[in-house]
Amino acid sequence: MPRSAKATGYLCALAATVIWSGNFIVARALADTVPPVTTSFLRWVTALVVILPFGLGAVRRDMPLLRANLTYFIMAGITGVSVFNTFIYIAGRTTEAINMALIASSSPVWIIILSRILLGEAVTLRRAAGVAVSLCGTLVLVTRGDFTRLASLRFAVGDLWMLAAALTFASYSVLLRKKPEGISALGSLTTTFAIGVVGILPMLAWEWGHGAQLAVTPAVVGAVLYIGIGASLLAYLCWSVAVERIGPAKSALVYYSLPLFSATEAALLLGETITLSHVASCALIVGGILIATMQRAPAAK
């Protein structure tokens, strides 16, 4: 593959990661005002409404292939849209934005493992070393530099929901590598979004049947527009390109930078404190990404 194509893949993975980092801030900010499943539903309805004028024609053109691969798109819609994002908003009710980003950073580990099991992708020594260094950075963040705290570390309910979300995202990313050929990006995304919205409906009915309420404010509208257009449409398009160009495992390594952006945004917007341990973890996470993704220059002939 040409270097320019690989560079585009890495840039798209980074762009998706930066946009998604803001999703954890929104999840935490809306936790007390908008029910979690409702947040997920509003997000994906917004994304679907925005993409439909552009994607409807593509869906019609791709309909024979979409019908032939309906099982794939049902799996992609349920994992990547219905379940993954709903779990994030449920997690935001009982855990902090930085915690969510930290747990989300475990997704690359699961992606690499699933890629090895399901796709047969090799786990090279360089890639394993990069993962190890990045994981050390995550541990520094979790323990705030004191590894003895691991012995007494306790997870909130929201942390467990976020772990489930990370596993779901890993499954979705590996599934993307098996995307059927001949289907346009617009047709694929529009179909995935539509199926995902339908998949949320049973959970939405349950939530509103148990007394959920929604207060519409300018802040809520702005947040929904951000997650509906940015974190959904733009980020998912970037991530699809990244997985196509560089594969799910390498895209996952770029995703390790997620805590860096989320921690910065949490400090600026939510007042969370950035400490020396955050700085150290940033260096380790970025260093791990570079180790795992940079290729050795060819020897001179």
149 near 141, Cβ under 8 Å?
Answer: no
pLDDT of 300 over the 60 cut = no
Q: Tokens representing 162? A: 């976020």
pLDDT digits (tens, 9 = 90+) for 46-83: 999 999 998 999 999 999 999 999 999 999 999 989 99
Query: Which residue in this structure is represented by tokens 């309910």?
Result: 157
pLDDT digits (tens, 9 = 90+) for 187-246: 998 999 999 999 999 999 999 998 888 878 888 899 889 988 988 888 888 888 888 888
Q: What pLDDT is attached to residue 61?
A: 95
Q: What pLDDT is attached to residue 76?
A: 92
Q: CA-to-CA distance for 112 and 138, rounded, in angstroms? A: 17
How many C-beta atoms surround the C-beta of residue 125 within 10 A? 7
pLDDT digits (tens, 9 = 90+) for 110-162: 777 777 777 777 777 877 787 788 778 767 766 767 766 666 666 668 888 88
* Angle 202-217-194 from CA coordinates, rounded to 5°: 30
Q: CA-to-CA distance for 108 and 125, rounded, in angstroms? A: 16
77 near 191, Cβ under 8 Å?
Answer: yes
3-state class of 181 per DSSP? coil
Q: Tokens representing 236? A: 């998912």
pLDDT of 4 over the 90 cut = no
Q: What pLDDT is attached to residue 142?
A: 64
24 near 88, Cβ under 8 Å?
Answer: yes
Q: CA-to-CA distance for 248 and 268, rounded, in angstroms? A: 31
Q: Tokens representing 101? A: 């980003």
30 near 148, Cβ under 8 Å?
Answer: no
Q: What pLDDT is attached to residue 162?
A: 86
125-143 vs 97-104: helix axis angle to the nearest 10? Answer: 160
Q: What pLDDT is attached to residue 294?
A: 63
How many C-beta atoms surround the C-beta of residue 68 within 10 A? 12
Q: CA-to-CA distance for 50 and 61, rounded, in angstroms? A: 19
Q: How confident is the model at residue 32 (pLDDT cuts 50, 70, 90)?
A: confident
- The one-letter amino acid code at 151 reads A
